[in-house]
C-alpha cells in the first residue's frame, strides 16, 4: 500500500528526538502518534552551537547510500514507519549491543546486517504484530566509528570515521602514506577476518572494490612497499608501479592507464634481472601478455609511428609540436592540418630549420591555400617556425634611456627618441639609422614613421666627431714639436 498524504502529514509532526515516542507508550497507539503528538508544543529551534556541531559531525556523502552495501552497527540512527490502519513512526538507534528497540514491537538484531537485510528481518517481526501494513525503514544518520590505522602512515593510531567513509578516508585522517608505505598490500582486519585492499587499483582505475567502506572496530594496516615493475613508452601513465604476486604484463599496462593511441599493441620490450645480476631483454608478443611479473621487471611499449616522418611546428600557429607527415606532403597541406595561423603571425619572416643543418627563409603568403603559388616538400625532422609580429620599437645608441617601447603607428622617429630620454650630449637626431627585423638598414629623417620591430640607432653628431679629430691632430702636433725640441737640444 502506498504512503498516503495523511501519513506524510503525520511524519512531519513527529520529527522528534529518539525516545519521545517510547516515553509515552502507555496510551493507545493512535493517541501517541496522533492526538498526543499534535497537542505537544512545536519543538524549539536548536541552538546555533548545537546545529554547528551536528553539521560538523555529518559526513560528506559521495553518493546516495546503497542499502544493499551499507552495514549497520552501533550508533546508526534509523527512521522506521509502519503505515496502515494503526500507523507507527519511530526514530531509533542501533544500541551498543547491536539491537534496535522499537516500542510495542520489541528488539530486532541489526549489527552486521545491511539496511536491506535489516528491513527484511524487521518486516518478519512486524508481521507477527500487525496486519495489512506497509513498512518503511531508512538510514537517518550514519554512526561515528572508531577505526585504527597502523603501519606506514604518518600518524598511526585511532581515527574517527563513519560508515559512509572508505579506507582511503581513514588513511588520510592518519596523515596519509609514508614514502615507504604500500598502496597495494593494505589489509583491513574486521571481526577476525582479513580483507585485502588495493588502493592503487582504486586510485588509477576507480575500482571501488579496492577501497571498501569502513566498519566500527576496523584495523587498517599499511605495510611497507612490495616488489615493483617499470612500464615506459606508449602507455598513458608510464612509471614505477608496485605489483602483486599474481600480476602479469597485461595487468601492469592496465594499471598504467592502458595503451596510448600511438601504441604498437602487438608486442612489448621486456627486460628482467637475471640471478647473476645481468639484464636480459626480449620482445614479448601480445599472446604472452599473461606472463607473470617479477620484482624490477621492465616493460616498454613501442610507438607505431616510430618510423614515420614528422616535422616540428612552433610559433604563431594554432597547432604546435610534432606533426606526422603523409607521403609527399608539402608545406601548403601542413599549414591546413596545423589549423592556420594566430592573428599575430609574421608570415613573411617564417623559416624552416633543416635537420641536417641550414635555415630556409620562406614567405608563407606564397604557400597559402587554395591558390598557393608554391608548394615545398618537407623532410623528416624539419622545424617550421613562424615568428610573431613584434609589438615594440627598440631605441639605442646615443640616447639617455635606451630600451624597447610599445609600437604606436602615429609616432615619428624623433618622438621615439624622445621616449628614450632624448639624445645624449654626443648624439644627434640628424644622424639616425633604422634596422628592420630582417637586419637590413635604412637611413631616415626625424619625421619618418618606424615599423613594428624596427631598431632605431642614434649615432654621434658630426661636430663631436670633428672635435675628436681636431683634438687628435693637436695632440699629434704637440708630440712632434716636443720631439724636435729634444732633438735640437741634444
Measured distance CA(49)–CA(55) in Å, rounded: 10
Tens digit of each residue's pLDDT (9 = 90 or more) over 123-166: 998 888 888 889 999 999 888 888 999 999 999 999 998 888 88
Other C-beta atoms lying within 10 Å of the C-beta of residue 200: 20
What distance in Å separates the CA atoms of residue 102 and residue 79, rounded to the nearest whole number? 11
CA distance 98 to 312: 68
Do 405 and 417 have their domain in common?
Answer: yes
Residue 403's pLDDT is what?
92
Instruction: List % helix, strand, coil for the chain (3-state, nearest 5).
Output: 25, 35, 40
Computed over its alpha carbons, how large is the radius of gyration of the chain? 42
Whether residue 131 sits in one domain with residue 68: yes
For residue 34, being part of any structural domain is answered with: yes
> Is 379 domain-assigned?
yes
Average pLDDT score, the chain? 80
Cell of 275: 640471478
Tell whether 277 and 325 lie within a shared domain.
Answer: no
Domain total for the chain?
5
Length of the chain: 490
User: Across residues 393-408, what is the average pLDDT?
Assistant: 91
Mean pLDDT, to the nearest integer, of 284-307? 89
Residues 261 and 324 in one domain: no
Residue 119, pLDDT > 60, answer: yes
Domain annotation covers residue 431: yes
Q: 467: which 3 cell numbers?
A: 672635435
User: Are 160 and 201 contacting, i.e. CB atoms less than 8 angstroms apart?
Assistant: no
pLDDT band with cut points at 50, 70 and 90 for residue 5: very low
User: Which residue range forms the structural domain that includes residue 251?
Assistant: 228-303
pLDDT digits (tens, 9 = 90+) for 232-273: 999 999 999 999 989 999 999 999 999 998 898 888 999 999
Where a domain ends, among 120, 141, 162?
141
**What confidence tier does 473 reach under pLDDT thresholds 50, 70, 90?**
low
Q: Which CATH number goes with the domain that contains 421?
A: 3.10.560.10
Taking Cα atoms as reference points, which of 420, 410, 399, 423 lies closest to residue 449? 410
Q: Cα(225)–Cα(146) distance, rounded to whole angstroms?
A: 26
Look at residue 286 and tell me if it is in a domain. Answer: yes
Same structural domain, 428 and 445: yes
**Alpha-carbon distances, residue 251 vs 167, 295, 300 (angstroms):** 23, 14, 14
Same domain, 125 and 28: yes
* Three cell numbers written together for 248: 602479469
- Whether the model clears a pTM of 0.75, i.e. scores above it, the answer is no
Same domain, 12 and 129: yes
369 and 438 in a common domain: no
User: Which of 207, 222, 237 marks a domain boundary?
Assistant: 222
Non-local (6+) Cβ contacts of 1 within 8 A are 83, 84, 132, 133, 134
Can you give the pLDDT at residue 479?
Answer: 65
Same domain? 328 vs 444? no
Find out whether 132 and 125 touch, Cβ atoms under 8 Å. Answer: no
Q: What is the mean pLDDT of residues 12-26?
A: 35
**pLDDT-derived band of residue 69, with 50, 70 and 90 as boundaries?**
confident
In-domain check, residue 480: no
Phi (first) and psi of residue 12, to 5 degrees: -70, -35
Does the residue 440 lie in any domain? yes
Alpha-helix residue ranges (DSSP H) falling in 302-343: 331-337
- How many whole angstroms separate alpha carbon 66 and alpha carbon 50? 29
Order of strands, edge to edge, in the sheet holding 427-435?
403-406, 392-397, 455-460, 427-435, 441-443
- Residue 102 CA to residue 126 CA, distance in Å, equals 10
Minimal CA–CA distance to 229: which of 292, 168, 167? 292
If you ran DSSP here, which 8-state letter would residue 128 be given?
T
pLDDT for position 52:
40
Does residue 481 form part of some domain?
no
401 in a structural domain: yes
Q: What are the beta bridge partners of residue 451? A: none
Q: What angle do CA 347, 457, 413 make, to 5 degrees?
A: 75
Residue 34 backbone dihedrals phi, psi, to 5 degrees? -110, -90
Does one domain contain both 22 and 103?
yes
| Cβ proximity of 387 and 316 under 8 Å | yes
| Domain match, 238 and 287 both | yes
pLDDT at 463: 65
Extract the C-alpha cell encoding 441: 638598414
Instruction: Point out the domain boundary residue: 351, 386, 421.
Output: 386
Non-local (6+) Cβ contacts of 483 within 8 A are none
pLDDT single digits (tens) 439-453: 788 888 888 999 888
d(CA 268, CA 249) in angstroms, rounded, equals 9
* Contact call for residues 187 and 194 (beta carbons, < 8 A): yes
Nearest-angstrom CA–CA distance, 236 and 204: 11
In terms of domains, do 10 and 137 share one?
Answer: yes
Q: Does residue 394 surpass a pLDDT of 90? A: yes
Amino acid at each position: 500500500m502506498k504512503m498516503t498524504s495523511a501519513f506524510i502529514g503525520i511524519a512531519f509532526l513527529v520529527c522528534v528526538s529518539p525516545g519521545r515516542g517510547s516515553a509515552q507508550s502507555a496510551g493507545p497507539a493512535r493517541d501517541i502518534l496522533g492526538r498526543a503528538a499534535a497537542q505537544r508544543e512545536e519543538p524549539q529551534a536548536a541552538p546555533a552551537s548545537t546545529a554547528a556541531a551536528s553539521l560538523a559531525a555529518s559526513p560528506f556523502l559521495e553518493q546516495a547510500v546503497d542499502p544493499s552495501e551499507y552495514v549497520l552497527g552501533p550508533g546508526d540512527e534509523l527512521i522506521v514507519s509502519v503505515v496502515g490502519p494503526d500507523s507507527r513512526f519511530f526514530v531509533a538507534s542501533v544500541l551498543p549491543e547491536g539491537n534496535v528497540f522499537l516500542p510495542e514491537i520489541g528488539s530486532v538484531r541489526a549489527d552486521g546486517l545491511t539496511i536491506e537485510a535489516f528491513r527484511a528481518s524487521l518486516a518478519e517481526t512486524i508481521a507477527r504484530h500487525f496486519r495489512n501494513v506497509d513498512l518503511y525503514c531508512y538510514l537517518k544518520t550514519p554512526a561515528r566509528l572508531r577505526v585504527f590505522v597502523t603501519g606506514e602512515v604518518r600518524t598511526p593510531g585511532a581515527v574517527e570515521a563513519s560508515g559512509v567513509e572508505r579506507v582511503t578516508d581513514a588513511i588520510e585522517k592518519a596523515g596519509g602514506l609514508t614514502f615507504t608505505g604500500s598502496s597495494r598490500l593494505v589489509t583491513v582486519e574486521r571481526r577476525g577476518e582479513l580483507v585485502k585492499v588495493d588502493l592503487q587499483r582504486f586510485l588509477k582505475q576507480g575500482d571501488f572494490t579496492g577501497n571498501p567502506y569502513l566498519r566500527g572496530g576496523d584495523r587498517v594496516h599499511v605495510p611497507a612497499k612490495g616488489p615493483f615493475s617499470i612500464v615506459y613508452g606508449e602507455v598513458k601513465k608510464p612509471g614505477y608501479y608496485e605489483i602483486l604476486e599474481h600480476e602479469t604484463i597485461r595487468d601492469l599496462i592496465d594499471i598504467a592507464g592502458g595503451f596510448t593511441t600511438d601504441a604498437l599493441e602487438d608486442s612489448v620490450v621486456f627486460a628482467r634481472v637475471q640471478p647473476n645480476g645481468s639484464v636480459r631483454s626480449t620482445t614479448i608478443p601480445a599472446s604472452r601478455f599473461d606472463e607473470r611479473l617479477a620484482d624490477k621487471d621492465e616493460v616498454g611499449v613501442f610507438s607505431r609511428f616510430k618510423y614515420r616522418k614528422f616535422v616540428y611546428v612552433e610559433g604563431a600557429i594554432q597547432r604546435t609540436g610534432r606533426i606526422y607527415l603523409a607521403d609527399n606532403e608539402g608545406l601548403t597541406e601542413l599549414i591546413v592540418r596545423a589549423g592556420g595561423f594566430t592573428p599575430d603571425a609574421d608570415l613573411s619572416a617564417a623559416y624552416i630549420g633543416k635537420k641536417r643543418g641550414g635555415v630556409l627563409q620562406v614567405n608563407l603568403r606564397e604557400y597559402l591555400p587554395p591558390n598557393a603559388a608554391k608548394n615545398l616538400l618537407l623532410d623528416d625532422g624539419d622545424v617550421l617556425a613562424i615568428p610573431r609580429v613584434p609589438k615594440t620599437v627598440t631605441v639605442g645608441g646615443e640616447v639617455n634611456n635606451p630600451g624597447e617601447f610599445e609600437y604606436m603607428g602615429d609616432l615619428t622617429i624623433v618622438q621615439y627618441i624622445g621616449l628614450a630620454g632624448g639624445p645624449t650630449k654626443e648624439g644627434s637626431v640628424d644622424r639616425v639609422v633604422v634596422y628592420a627585423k630582417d637586419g637590413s638598414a635604412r637611413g631616415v629623417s626625424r619625421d619618418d614613421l618606424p615599423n613594428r620591430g624596427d631598431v632605431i640607432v642614434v649615432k654621434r653628431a658630426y661636430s663631436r666627431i670633428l672635435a675628436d679629430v681636431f683634438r687628435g691632430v693637436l695632440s699629434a702636433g704637440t708630440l712632434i714639436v716636443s720631439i724636435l725640441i729634444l732633438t735640437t737640444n741634444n
